[in-house]
Amino acid sequence: MVVSVVSLVGVKFYQNAGETEEDPGIPYYTTATPELTSAAATLLHKHNCQECHSLWATRDFTIAVPAPALDGEGSFRDRDWLAQYFNAAVPQDILPTRLKPQYRHPSYAHLSDEDRTTLTDYMFSLKVEDWYREQTEKRRFEKLTGKKWAANE
Ligand code: HEC
């Protein structure tokens, strides 16, 4: 499923256009400063994060790795968790995988402290509005486990 969340939201509101419901807008935002956003963009590009992950409706659509989208990441993990994840020699010790080795999240333990801090801070800055939190959680769960989300249904 590589259709972007933003376009799905767009379709939903288009379908509701005849009703009185107000368009609540795009649910994802960042608390990052422009400097952090720019430093992170350079790293995300350099390390091809968007070959596997979508973020801000952008990813490489020619490679279909079922990695969770990074939108809203910082609403689900705390800063320490993210720091440990980027510091781990084997990230799968922290977050188990269901994928073949070549699709798994790579270790970034070899990066400089500064670069890992930038990735950590930027991931933590990615938030989701409360009204879209459960939808996002559901997608994340299904991507990570390959199972259907049954909670609250
Ligand atoms: C080869 C594909 C691939 C690349 C490249 C990649 N990731 Fe991942 N990432 C994954 C997968 C798959 C997971 C889920 C865990 C797993 O299967 O290892 C994941 C998990 C994550 C998580 C944890 C999500 C959660 O559950 O909270 C974060 C954060 C993350 N990646 C950020 C990044 C960033 C930032 C980069 C670039 C510096 C990156 N990833 C590069 C595939 C990738």
Q: What is the CATH number of the domain that holds 71?
A: 1.10.760
The contacts of residue 28 (CB under 8 Å, 6+ apart) are: 5, 6, 56, 71, 72, 126, 127, 128, 129, 132
In a domain? residue 14 = no
Check pocket membership of 69 for ligand 1, CB cut-off 6 A.
no
Q: How many structural domains is the chain composed of?
A: 1
The contacts of residue 16 (CB under 8 Å, 6+ apart) are: none
Task: Report the range of poorest mean pLDDT among 7-21, 37-51, 52-66.
Answer: 7-21
Mapped onto helix, strand or coil, the DSSP state of residue 21 is coil
In a domain? residue 18 = no
In a domain? residue 12 = no
**Tally of helices (H runs) and strands (E runs) in the chain:** 6, 2
In a domain? residue 96 = yes
Instruction: Write down the pLDDT at residue 9.
Output: 47
Positive/negative CA dihedral, 135, 7, 147, 59: negative
Between CA 44 and CA 49 the distance in angstroms is: 5
Give pTM, 2 decimals. 0.87
In a domain? residue 19 = no
* Token output for 38: 């720019």
Check pocket membership of 92 for ligand 1, CB cut-off 6 A.
yes
Mean pLDDT of the chain: 88
In a domain? residue 9 = no
Q: Indicate the pLDDT class of residue 19, thresholds 50, 70 and 90.
A: low
**Does 1 score more than 50 pLDDT?**
no
Instruction: Write down the pLDDT at residue 65.
Output: 87
Mapped onto helix, strand or coil, the DSSP state of residue 57 is coil
* Token output for 57: 């409706």
Which of 36, 43, 53 gets mutated to test ligand 1 (max ligand atoms within 8 A of its CB)? 53
In a domain? residue 58 = yes
Instruction: Write down the pLDDT at residue 153.
Output: 57
Instruction: Write down the pLDDT at residue 67.
Output: 93
In a domain? residue 94 = yes
Which of 2, 52, 59, 147 gets mutated to test ligand 1 (max ligand atoms within 8 A of its CB)? 52
Mapped onto helix, strand or coil, the DSSP state of residue 45 is helix
Domain containing 137: what range? 27-145
* Token output for 43: 């790293």
| pLDDT, tens digit (0-9, with 9 covering 90-100), for 53-85 | 999 988 777 778 889 999 999 999 999 999 999
Check pocket membership of 143 for ligand 1, CB cut-off 6 A.
no
CA 18 to chain centre: 32
